[in-house]
Amino acid sequence: MKGLLLVIMLIALAISGCTEKGPSVPDRNVAELKNLSAPSAENLSSFAVHSLVAQTMKLNAGANANEEKTTAITESLETLSSVNLSAMMVHVSGSTKSKIEVEGQPENNSETGAEVYLIGNSTYLQEQSGNWTHLIDPRSAEEVWSEDKNNQVLSLARTFNLSQLEDMGSESVEGEDSQKFRIVTASADETNLFNIAFAVAAKVTQYPMNLPSINRSELNKTAKMEKTIWISKKSTLPVKYESAISFSMTPEIIGAMNLSTGQMEMFNQSRPLGEISVSVQTSDRFYDFDKPTSITLPEEALSAPALSPATMQPASGQ
């Protein structure tokens, strides 16, 4: 399910309600929580996660938008996922919303949804049209699920274990007595920042038709990154994670695709674009640890033709 939560979309039910708070749990020190969090996550049989992602881009000038008409593009994704690690099954439902604002013009809004099931090595996707697609991974189910690839809680616990932290005290998360920490950014975050910035530049310049270039010095100078994690004092598992990234950049186009040869040709002189300001916020709420999780594939999905992702051709023997 690598990258699955950011690809899959459908209308998610809002999770609300009060959870009665039990007796307070004594504070644990950072070293104790670090030592216990990952081992606790390794033994999970199931969990659920409610995820939110919001990205805003402002195109200020140049080829993207003129100075009089700044363009703002807002995209948001909400997903609700149930994960049964023991049965090697995942169900993700979610929705995406997009809004484009140009000064002096009406807003342009759109919304799409989808539903996804990962059963062993098969992925079933229901698109906005209602049609189902069945993709079969050529690897076995055991290989797809090996090394805890789909255990998002464990991945976060390991990040917590390896990070430099700032203790921000106790805080209740949906009634769960938790310890709140700020994760100090490291060199790996700069790589992640560059990847996000390049993805934005690629989208704006319509890569691979055009090849963008980013000034790392400008990017690092304007960038702000914050990451916060909440660890349950009782279970020592991550129960909440938030991140916020913002930056400004002025990409340049340094090459373009030659449609006759299919090769990228570099320009003698780059073509600067206008300034782009970007902000990205994410939030993940983890709950229902080790609770019985029943995931049933809809009957209509079973009739979808099986395709191989590598060839996008009907899979033999299916």
DSSP sequence for 132-188: EEEEE-SS-HHHHTGGGTT-HHHHHHHHHHHS-EEEEEEEEETTEEEEEEEEPP-HH
Q: What pLDDT score was predicted for residue 186?
A: 84
Q: Is residue 141 part of a domain?
A: yes
**CA dihedral (2, 223, 51, 152) positive or negative:** positive
Q: Is residue 103 part of a domain?
A: yes
Q: Which domain holds residue 40?
A: 27-307
Helix 152-162 and helix 30-42: axis angle, to 10°?
A: 150
**What six digits make up the tokens of 165?**
């932290």
Measured between alpha carbons, how far is 190 from 268 in angstroms, rounded to an integer? 29
Q: Is residue 256 part of a domain?
A: yes
Q: What pLDDT score was predicted for residue 13?
A: 27
User: pLDDT class for 129, splitting at 50, 70, 90?
Assistant: confident
pTM over 0.85: no
Q: Is residue 119 part of a domain?
A: yes
Coil, helix or strand for 242?
strand
User: Strand order in 252-258's β-sheet?
Assistant: 210-213, 252-258, 263-272
DSSP state of 288: -
Q: What pLDDT score was predicted for residue 104?
A: 82
Q: What pLDDT score was predicted for residue 136?
A: 95
| Whether the predicted pLDDT of 147 surpasses 50 | yes
Q: What CATH number corresponds to the domain at position 108?
A: 2.50.20.20
| Whether the predicted pLDDT of 91 surpasses 90 | yes
211-235: per-residue pLDDT in tens? 999 999 999 999 999 999 999 999 9
Ramachandran class of 159: left when φ > 0, alpha when ψ lies in -120 to 50, beta otherwise = alpha
Query: What is the arithmetic mean of pLDDT over 105-124?
Result: 95
**Which uninterrupted H or E stretch holds 12?**
none
Q: Is residue 292 part of a domain?
A: yes
Query: What is the arithmetic mean of pLDDT over 290-304?
Result: 94
Q: What pLDDT score was predicted for residue 174?
A: 95
Q: What pLDDT score was predicted for residue 154?
A: 98
Query: Which segment of 12-21, 254-263, 268-277, 294-303 scores lowest on mean pLDDT?
Result: 12-21
| Whether the predicted pLDDT of 316 surpasses 90 | no
Residues 304-308: contacts with CB within 8 Å, 24+ apart?
304/124, 304/131, 304/132, 304/133, 304/134, 305/134, 306/122, 306/134, 306/135, 306/136, 307/133, 307/134, 307/135, 307/136, 308/135, 308/136, 308/138
Query: What is the arithmetic mean of pLDDT over 39-55?
Result: 97
Q: What pLDDT score was predicted for residue 189?
A: 87
Measured between alpha carbons, how far is 99 from 72 in angstroms, rounded to an integer? 8
- Of the two residues 232 and 6, the one the predictor is more confident about is 232
Q: What pLDDT score was predicted for residue 6?
A: 35
Q: Is residue 14 part of a domain?
A: no
Query: What is the arithmetic mean of pLDDT over 196-206?
Result: 93
| Whether the predicted pLDDT of 32 surpasses 70 | yes
Residue 202 Cα distances to 50, 104, 194, 250, 256, angstroms: 29, 27, 12, 13, 12
Query: Which segment of 66-80, 196-210, 239-253, 260-274 scores lowest on mean pLDDT?
Result: 66-80
Coil, helix or strand for 219?
helix
Q: What pLDDT score was predicted for residue 311?
A: 54
For strands 306-307 and 132-136, give the pairing: parallel
Number of domains into which the chain is organized: 1
| Whether the predicted pLDDT of 108 surpasses 50 | yes
For strands 238-249 and 176-183, give the pairing: unpaired
User: pLDDT class for 105, splitting at 50, 70, 90?
Assistant: confident
- Of the two residues 191 and 181, the one the predictor is more confident about is 181
Q: What pLDDT score was predicted for residue 310?
A: 62
Q: Is residue 19 part of a domain?
A: no
- Of the two residues 22 and 206, the one the predictor is more confident about is 206
- Of the two residues 29 and 151, the one the predictor is more confident about is 151
Measured between alpha carbons, how far is 292 from 21 in angstroms, rounded to an integer? 22
Q: Is residue 8 part of a domain?
A: no
